[in-house]
Amino acid sequence: MLTVDLEKCIGCGECEDACSFGAIEVKEDKAVVDLDKCTMCGTCVDTCPEGALELDKQESEASGINPDEWRGVWVTAEYRFGQTAPVTFELLGKGRELANELSVPLTAVLIGSGVRQHAQELVERGADRVLVVDHPELEQFRDDVFARIVSGLARREKPEIILAGATAMGRSYIPQVATMLETGLTADCTELEVRKEDRALLQTRPAFGGNLLATIVCPNHRPQMSTVRPHVLKALEPDASRQGEIVEITPTDEELSSRLKIVESVMEKAEGPGLADSDIVVAAGRGMESEKNMALIHELAELLEAGVGASRAVTDAEWLPHRAQIGQTGVTVSPKLYMGFGISGAIQHVVGIQGADMIVAVNKDPEAPIFDLATYGIVGDVKTILPLLIKKIKKERGV
Amino acid sequence: MKIAVCIKQVPDASTVRFDKEKGTLVREGVESVINPFDYNAIEAGLALKDQVGGEVSVLTMGPPQAQDAIREAISLGVDNGIVVSDRAFAGADTLATTYTLAKAINKLGAFDLVICGKQAVDGDTAQVGPGLAVRLGIPCVTCVDDLEVLEDGRKLRLKRMCEQGYDIVEVELPALITVLASLNIPRVPSLKGKMRAKKADIPMLSAEDIGAETSKVGLAGSPTQVATTTVPTFDAKREMLEGEPEEQVDALIGKLKEAGIL
């Protein structure tokens, strides 16, 4: 619980300002904590100039786990519909970096049917070792089976870190793995780093709708587990000369037993690259004003062979389908060029475009936060700028 | 069919503002609402009850004012609801939350189906549903976009969405599902429902009431801790292209050519 040392408190109000939950109020020159509102996030403790606030962390459960017994970095590979998902290679890129920092091997866990042949590719992308669980009954993704296999392997081998893709599949079974292991899991990390002195994994993710970045640690439990969205991390180029150990693991009958029956798996989206893979993204915001004006966005996108994205306001208004939403609760993009039209730059949206090489923003409001992260900004009306831009690009192209 | 729906009260995103200078949320005037995805979870429960009969209970872990969320759910037609509330629950991460919810559900009795929304919009983790299923020892199907009752309610056939397409999954009950907004269109409260909600008795259960060990709830039971929070900063060029629209667009064309895009 959060306590205030009344001797030390000078009633300056720094903590009141710092609290995102309105849980602290200075009354009669002393900070008073509303325990019903306090979530014990600890932000206030660091801001107090007098060191008067203390978060009693001694209550933290002694997990009975000795972190020193847990070594190694793992990546759970995602293999579905006959393909290794690109997020697997991205995770291996980051996993390689973390493993080097910690001087431990990087292990990939590959589960599926007929997946043995894809193990070497994981080595080429950075793994030192691949645990292959290849069985006909693993053709389909069943949460309970996958969770039991990964948690069983983790109990035996004791890795200190497990990274997984924040995909529909990862977000479904990885929380089950973490619960089976009774350890912490941080969702949708945008940054992962090792703190050398205590080997802690610093897991940074957007919090409070992306208005803050929170760095999460998992000090007393192992493994430390994180999921990361596709397109947030960079994969290594495949290196065919890399050597690694491939270990085949036979799942037990108990592990393979399931209460789920997959009647059918249907792949729908085989056509072309999606929004997330586009080199150029043209995005529309509330400032487009009406559905009618969206024709301009589509025309520009077609001209540039760009993907069309949007802020939440636009997809909520159904000017574009929900899958076009870019941001924390939508798609993450990392194109060569992102152009935002009438997008104000709410952090919810902005966290989804940080990987763009160049950001162009057009907005009427010179104070729009999107300009803070724009490479090039134009203050102007999208209804004027877009037609001009389309005309001039056509002229450049000689269309 | 006995159905439990887990909901969460979250700050209404449309009323939350952010103080950039201080790096904090402005909580003044912020209203609490039911997490948007949880309306779909409630609707899924009510629709199943309409179809096969049974009872829909709703529960939430939160501060005492989370009673408002339960009251709203009752106005929509759920049969009853409880708030699990205790100062010891503060600071709970998703692991501690699943422990607490599982204890509460077990206290309420046996359920055929537990329904959660896809994720809560304040944390966006989507971890509580699948974790809760493990705690309850029942199978879990996430991202449900369509559902059908089989064998007189002993089994469900579900459409589970993923990036590449979907799976059709059959699961025997008891089970837990998390539902997408595309599953249904939530109903609005009826006048009768509103009257009932007003008068409804909403029990508040403490850690002791649900038999929870204090070392497993709240901050104490949470493996993850917030080490630091920072306001995001962006290292951008921020070059504004000035002039009349013609000049601005010409300047932009120049920049795109320079970058080899045009």
Q: What is the pLDDT of residue A266?
A: 93
Domain range for B71 is 2-221
Residues 6 or more apart whose Cβ sits within 8 Å of residue A176: A143, A144, A147, A151, B130, B131, B133, B134, B140
Strand partners, A73: A106, A161
CA-atom Rg of chain B in angstroms: 23
Which CA distances in Å does A264 have to A270, A342, B67? 17, 42, 41
Chain B residues whose CB is inside 8 A of the A371 CB are 238, 240
Is B236 in Cβ contact with A187 (below 8 Å)?
no
In a domain, residue B240? The reply is: no
Residue of B nearest to A208 (CA): B122
Q: What is the pLDDT of residue A59?
A: 47
Residue of B nearest to A364 (CA): B245
Chain A residues whose CB is inside 8 A of the B207 CB are none
CA distance to partner chain B, nearest, from residue A122 (Å): 21
Secondary structure of residue B122 in the 3-state scheme? coil
| Distance of alpha carbon B156 from alpha carbon B162, whole angstroms | 19
Find the CB nearest A188 among B13, B87, B124: B124
Is B167 in Cβ contact with A140 (below 8 Å)?
yes
pLDDT digits (tens, 9 = 90+) for B101-156: 999 999 999 999 999 999 998 888 999 999 999 999 999 999 999 999 998 889 99
CB B66 within 8 A of CB B85: yes
Angle made by CA atoms B173, B97, B168, in degrees to the nearest 5: 35
CA distance to partner chain A, nearest, from residue B221 (Å): 6
The residue whose two tokens read 């998703």 is B94
The lowest-confidence range among A160-164, B161-165, B243-247 is B161-165
Chain B residues whose CB is inside 8 A of the A378 CB are 240-241, 248-249, 252
* A 286-345 → B contacts, CB under 8 A: 304, 328-329, 336-337
Q: A230: closest CA among A284, A276, A186?
A: A276
Residue of B nearest to A19 (CA): B24
| Distance of alpha carbon A324 from alpha carbon A283, whole angstroms | 9
User: What fold is seen in the domain A67-256?
Assistant: Rossmann fold (3.40.50)
Residue of A nearest to B261 (CA): A337
Is A385 in Cβ contact with B248 (below 8 Å)?
yes
Query: A275-397: what CATH class?
Result: alpha beta
- The pTM of the full predicted model, rounded to 2 decimals, is 0.85
Find the CB nearest B226 among A42, A188, A373: A42
Find the CB nearest B134 among A42, A176, A347: A176
Q: Does residue A11 belong to the interface with chain B, where contact is any CB pair within 8 Å?
A: no
Query: A2-59: what CATH class?
Result: alpha beta
> What is the residue-wise DSSP string for A205-266?
EEETTTTEEEEEE--SSSSEEEEE-TTSSPPPPP-TT---EEEE-PPPHHHH--SEEEEEEE
Is B169 in Cβ contact with A376 (below 8 Å)?
no
Is B95 in Cβ contact with A184 (below 8 Å)?
yes
Q: What is the pLDDT of residue B21?
A: 62
What average pLDDT does the segment B206-226 reach? 94
Judge if A67-256 and A275-397 fold alike in CATH terms. Answer: yes
pLDDT digits (tens, 9 = 90+) for B77-91: 999 999 999 999 988
Q: What is the DSSP secondary structure assignment for residue B217, as one 8-state letter? A: S
Residue B62 pLDDT greater than 60, yes or no: yes
In a domain, residue B162? The reply is: yes
Chain B residues whose CB is inside 8 A of the A188 CB are 124-125
Number of domains forming the structure of chain B: 1
Q: What is the pLDDT of residue A289?
A: 94
Find the CB nearest B226 among A22, A140, A216: A216
Is A375 in Cβ contact with B23 (below 8 Å)?
no
In a domain, residue B149? The reply is: yes
Judging by DSSP bridges, how do beta strands B2-6 and B55-61 pair with one another? parallel
pLDDT less than 70: residues of chain A: 57-63, 208-211, 269-273
Is B131 in Cβ contact with A176 (below 8 Å)?
yes
In a domain, residue B253? The reply is: no
Q: What is the pLDDT of residue B229?
A: 80
Domain boundaries, chain A: 2-59, 67-256, 275-397
Find the CB nearest A219 among B121, B167, B225: B225
Q: What is the pLDDT of residue A196?
A: 92
Number of A:B CB contacts under 8 A? 292
Q: Which of B17, B176, B219 to mutate to test the interface with A (most CBs of A within 10 A)?
A: B219
What average pLDDT does the segment B220-242 reach? 85
Judging by DSSP bridges, how do beta strands B2-6 and B204-205 pair with one another? unpaired
In a domain, residue B226? The reply is: no
Is A61 in Cβ contact with B90 (below 8 Å)?
no
Core vs surface per residue A311-343: b (16+ CB within 10 A) or e: bbbbbeeebbebebbbbbbbbbbbbebbbbbbb
Residue of B nearest to A16 (CA): B24
ipTM of the complex: 0.91
| Distance of alpha carbon B158 from alpha carbon B142, whole angstroms | 10
Is B93 in Cβ contact with A209 (below 8 Å)?
no
Chain B residues whose CB is inside 8 A of the A147 CB are 134
Q: Which of B9, B37, B182, B228 to mutate to test the interface with A (most CBs of A within 10 A)?
A: B228
The residue whose two tokens read 């960079």 is A234
CB A57 within 8 A of CB B219: yes
Q: What is the pLDDT of residue A272?
A: 47
H or E stretch covering A177: helix A168-180
The domain that holds B130 is classified in CATH as 3.40.50.620
| Distance of alpha carbon B215 from alpha carbon B224, whole angstroms | 14
Find the CB nearest A187 among B125, B138, B215: B125
CB A249 within 8 A of CB A153: yes
Q: Which of B10, B113, B124 to mutate to test the interface with A (most CBs of A within 10 A)?
A: B124
Q: Is the dihedral of CA A167, A169, A174, A175 positive or negative?
A: positive
Judging by DSSP bridges, how do beta strands A200-207 and A212-217 pair with one another? antiparallel
The residue whose two tokens read 């795109």 is B256
Residue B182 pLDDT greater than 60, yes or no: yes
H or E stretch covering B19: strand B17-19
